[in-house]
Structure 1
Amino acid sequence: MGLAMVNQKLAVLGEFLVKWGGTMLVTFVLISTYYSCVHVIAENMYDNPTHIYWLTLVAKLIILEIAVNLACFVYYARYNSVTYWHRKSCVADLRVYAEDNEAQPEVEYACAQPTVERHLSWEPANESGSKFCFTCNKEAPQRSHHCPLCKMCVLRKDHHCFITGACVGLGNQRYFMVFLFWCAIGLTIAMPHLFFYMNTEVAYWYPFGFVYYIGPIAVVRWILGYVPFSQACFSTLFSFAGASLITAGGFFGMQVYYTSQGYTMYEWHNLTVRATFLGDGENMGERLRLVFGKHWALNFLIPLPWNLPVLTPAISDSLFRVRSKVL
């Protein structure tokens, strides 16, 4: 009995670390980078207080953007559910909506920019059936994929992000992309400050001093008593910040590329999906509005959760192929 309880507690702890461990690590790196650049490095790097003031202001703005979009990403991960989008945007539901609102045929339905009349007049190009998810015990659209960590079928799944602790899907992809954008901007500003401090205060007097920029080497030297704890901390932070910049910038670039092609990362690298389904949207505008909603560029300044993804008839047919035979 005692062993069973221990295993249960370890399982709960493991699940917690898998879900939130990456998020806690990123949060720690961002807060440490902000504090180091603004409260430690800036005083040594700048003589003019005005420069420190503007650096602090910009840093606070970037941290706010990152925190808000990360919170929105985690919260709206629940809206990746196939069930939610069936209820909200499915073509079959549009028919019911139109029958109940015959006096207002031009009213837009929820997140769809085209009118209900356009959706009902759309003729699907392909009548492929659905697939059955044995875990959820229900039929699901072909372009949904079950996530064992999120415990649901995710519509238009991109990937499960261990750093943010949730799947990237139709309901929250915009926040993921904006989160990556501001992380890349913030780390791009922070890296020269960290490099200045490392080059002047930590490793400049050592032969081949650049070796001590690497966090693990500095930690080992601290354990052996060769360097102070502060050097090990800054070397580790410099390594984490550099790796995070490469990761955030790389992932943001990939997200932009896949979005411009009308696919997610999972679908782009799945040749079966690419052979069966055309990329969403007929042009770049439709593809951006599918991810960000109307006024897509404003999402990079302030989240617009009330502007839901815009689904054209062709995109609806592709996403909800499971309903096409019912109609």
Structure 2
Amino acid sequence: MLYSEASDLIAVIFLNYVLPTFNAILIAGITITTAKIRISEGLSLIWCYFFPAQIILNWIQFYRQPSFIPLTTEPIPALITKTNDLIQRDISITMPDQTVIKYKECYKCDLYVPERSHHCPYCKKCVYILDHHCFFLGYCVGRTNMKYFITFCMWAAIGTAYGLYHIFDVMTFYRSISGKEAMFYFFPFTFAMWYVERAADFEVFYIFLLDFGLGALIICIFLTSMGLYSTLNNSTPYEDRKNIKADGSDKSLLDNFEAVFGRHGYFHFVFPMFPTKATRIPVGYRR
């Protein structure tokens, strides 16, 4: 029992703190190195300020607007209609204004939660329209912070590509990308050469940024694409896997976009603090 609790604690620390910290260090390393390169060449630093600002502001907004289901202490204020399905046990709640909201039971939270909610085993809470738990940001991606996740990944991809271009350009002055020296662009090899004093300190650092930055670039492009796909199709990866069609899945692409980003939500791609009407999350009720 004690071993299991210790393992869970280590996993939580690693997933929620270590990976986001590594992510922040990688972003800072690429940013500072790119700025130093541009300063040495007498070039402008405007993009070295702009890209990190976009990443940081979207990261802050992502944390500020979680999609956790708020709990109310009030009793269910309406008529409940239960299905006969003993496995899923969905319910429909008819509100006083005659609107019908579909709910389901979450046994781990001991709540009635909105139909498209899912329980996150890492956050240990129910999340409204859960897309996935992002380990590199240490938080769940749901309906209210989805737009900030997408714009974070987009600017992280652009900023990383911008930085890697400068770092790679410098490295080609010292190591050829063709022939035997191409192995120096593989971090484990460069680290081994540095250990036996056949590679300079800056080479190890630059190749570390290049290799891990390239991995981050690919992941960010993939996550941006998947996030936009889910947004425009009003779906989640879970719903796609289970072939579940959400209510309103026949809406237009613009309607689905505005459901996540809000009216004039395209401003969020440049102005993370752009004010929009907050997405209303239905409350959860005690069972």
When the two structures are superposed, what TM-score results if normalisation uses the length of structure 1? 0.71
Do 2:30 and 2:164's aligned partners in 1 also have CA atoms closer than 8 Å?
no
Residues 139-190 of structure 1: CA deviation (Å, up to 9, x unaligned): 1223111002112111100000000000100121111011011111111212
Matched, 1:21 2:9: no
Alignment of 1:298 with 2:271, yes or no, is no
1:87-120 Cα distance to aligned partner (Å, 9 max, x none): 9xxx97xxxxxxxxxxxxxxxxxxxxxxxxxxx5
Aligned to 2:127: 154
Counterpart residue type for residue 27 of structure 2: L
Match of 1:141 among 114, 131, 134: 114
Q: Does 1:285 align with 2:218?
A: no
Matched, 1:177 2:150: yes
Distance 1:279 1:215, change over 3 A: farther
2: distance between equivalents of 1:148 and 1:305?
A: 32
Matched, 1:200 2:173: yes
Decide whether aligned partners of structure 1 residues 143 and 253 sit closer, same or farther in structure 2, where only a CA change above 3 A counts: same
Contact 1:290-1:309 within 8 A present in 2 as well: no
Listed as ranges, the matches of 1:42-61 within 5 Å are 42-43=38-39, 46=41, 49=42, 52-53=43-44, 56-61=45-50
Which residue of 1 is the match for residue 277 of structure 2? 308
Q: Distance in 2 between matches of 1:298 and 1:159?
A: 24
In 2, distance between residues paired with 1:205 and 1:169? 42
Cα distance in structure 1, aligned partners of 2:253 and 2:4: 50
Provide the residue aligned with 1:73 in structure 2. Answer: 62
2: CA distance between counterparts of 1:65 and 1:153?
29
Contact 1:289 / 1:310 at 8 angstroms: preserved in 2?
Answer: no
TM-score, normalized by length of structure 2? Answer: 0.80
* Distance of 2:255 and 2:177 partners within structure 1: 56
> How many equivalent residue pairs?
265
- 1:245 pairs with 2:217: yes
Structure 2, gaps ≥5 residues long:
79-96
Select the structure that is richer in helix. 1
Equivalent position amino acid for 1:70 in 2: W
Q: Is the 8 A contact 2:146 2:227 kept in 1?
A: no
Q: Percent identity?
A: 23
- CA-based RMSD of the aligned residues comes to 3.2
Higher alpha-carbon deviation: 28-37 or 133-142: 133-142
Gapped runs of 5+ residues in structure 1?
Answer: 93-119, 312-318
Quick one: which amino acid aligns to residue 195 of structure 1? F
1:260 aligns with 2:229: no
Q: Is the 8 A contact 1:291 1:309 kept in 2?
A: no
Going from structure 1 to structure 2, the CA distance change for 1:21 and 1:280 (only over 3 Å counts) comes to farther
SS in 1 for 2:167: helix
Any conservation in 1 of the 2:258–2:265 contact (CA below 8 Å)? yes
Q: Secondary structure at the match of 1:153?
A: strand
Equivalence for 1:103: none
Match of 1:112 in 2: none
C-alpha separation between the residues in 2 aligned to 1:10 and 1:259?
A: 35
* Alignment CA distance shift 1:206-1:261 (3 Å): closer
Query: Deviation string for 1:200-237 (max 9, x for gaps)?
Result: 12x22984222211212211222233222221111111
**Cα distance between partner residues in 1 of 2:274 and 2:253:** 21
DSSP 3-state at the match of 1:242: helix
* Structure with higher strand content: 2
